[in-house]
Amino acid sequence: MSLEVMSLILLGGLVFLLAFGIEIASAMGIMAGLGLLLFVHQPLDYFARCAFEMMNSFTFTAIPLFVFMGAIYANTGTMGPLFRGAEKIFGNLPGSLASSVIVANAIFGAISGSSLAATATFGKICFPEMEKAGYNPRLSLGAIAISGTLSVLIPPSLIMIVYGGWEDVSVARLFAGGIIPGLILTILFMITVTILVIRNPSLAPTTSKTTLREKLKAILDLLPFLGIIALVLGTIFGGIMTPTEAASLGALLSIVFALIYRQMSIQALKDSMWTAVTITSMIAFVLFTARMLGQVFQYIGLTEAFSQFMIGLPVGKYALFAIICLMYLVLGCFFDALSMLVLTLPFVAPIIKNLGFDFIWFGVTYVVLAEIGLVTPPFGLNLFVLKGVLPQYEITTIFRGTLPFLIPTAILVVLLVIFPDLVLWLPRVLYAR
């Protein structure tokens, strides 16, 4: 059977299953099983061996720990002081509450790594406050949805952990590479809010001035969160702990933090543990079925043929990378960031290697591209999460609120291509030895 026919059966079958509403992991598993039987001629017990080999990874152990860490903060309500502290510090800016949401999400991203948890948490905490203050719902919804994406860029990031384990790239270097782009994007989002409110003052009420004493008190409110970030990331970058060991430290600190604030309960602990189990199980299912399908693609020669075709196009390396970016922007409308990553890496990684791009740089750039997919319909996950928290608003309303924020995200992608040291400088400094 020719490569074209086998590829058509596998890819066409995958699209067919997805079109009928089959979950991405199940669809990949079904097509991988058919590929094993029809084209690779291997027994289906290969699934069990692949699942064990995939999950028997010290790197991936960090995933449930970071998820648990974020879930503790979300379920115990300890994020309130974070938002209120950011509000006092940036209270003099136009649209200060929207900027405060963005900064609070950036800090939460540095102690969580879950975009969905960030969006749900701040949707519950911040939107009522913004609505009460008289903010335009579209600006409020857009700021909450887009700032939730910072959690996948600012370390620790679950997507970076998966990418590092999948491509055998240092997760610590990926974390370091995401810090400067994450800070830049946070600032760009805040600038976007300021410009929007200056151009249309009806979007937000006039800000109230905060005194220096109030700002200093707000900084004190933020210090515990910043201390946890410093401990978790500092132990990673200092070589004291691996990302998995630092995740264990962060999970313990989240419990201690909730106890100190008297927000911990048995129910919150149980809910957080269940969240960690369910999300990790979902990720594990996606990972090993994608690995199986990728191996089938590799066996029949599809990945090599695709790579040779792309490299053979009569365009330059940056034009080819622009095509890859466009592909991810389109796929991001239909796939979540994790599924899109593991489904495309077998095809894209050889191209990135042949073009001479750094895998640390590409991993961070991919995360920025995936952020756009989190807020673009029809399957932008952050849109659905916020819709679930605030059912009175339609998906289209939430999406229109995020549209202005897609411009700074696209600007960041361009900056990363022009100045790759925005990603590579910090890992080079930290790991120069």
Q: Are 102 and 408 in contact (CB under 8 A)?
A: no
Q: How far apart are CA 273 and CA 427, in angstroms?
A: 33
- Residue at 224: amino acid letter: P
Handedness of CA 30, 35, 38, 40 (dihedral sign): negative
- Residue at 156: amino acid letter: P
**Phi and psi angles of residue 263, each rounded to the nearest 5 degrees, phi first:** -115, -5
Q: How many domains, in total, are found in the chain?
A: 1
Mean pLDDT of the chain: 84
Q: How far apart are CA 414 and CA 411, in angstroms?
A: 5
Q: Are 57 and 284 in contact (CB under 8 A)?
A: no
DSSP secondary structure of 8-38:
HHHHHHHHHHHHTT--HHHHHHHHHHHHIII
Print pLDDT tens along the chain (433 aa).
788 888 888 888 988 888 887 888 888 889 888 888 888 777 777 777 777 776 777 777 888 888 888 788 777 777 667 777 777 777 677 888 888 888 888 887 777 767 777 787 778 878 888 888 888 888 988 988 888 888 888 888 888 888 888 888 888 899 999 999 999 999 999 999 999 999 988 888 876 677 777 777 777 777 888 888 888 888 888 888 888 888 888 888 888 888 887 878 888 889 888 988 888 888 888 888 888 888 888 888 888 888 888 888 888 889 999 999 998 888 887 777 888 888 888 889 889 988 889 999 999 999 898 888 888 877 777 888 888 888 888 888 888 888 999 999 999 999 999 999 999 999 999 887 5
Q: How far apart are CA 6 and CA 347, in angstroms?
A: 16
Q: What angle do CA 168, 329, 290 make, to 5 degrees?
A: 40
CB atoms within 10 A of CB 412: 21
What secondary structure letter does DSSP report for 39?
I
Q: Are 57 and 148 in contact (CB under 8 A)?
A: no
Q: pTM (2 decimals)? A: 0.85
Host domain of residue 168 = 3-430
Query: CB within 8 A of 252, min separation 6: which ones?
Result: none
pLDDT, one tens digit per residue, over 351-402 is 998 888 999 999 999 989 888 888 887 777 788 888 888 888 888 888 888 8
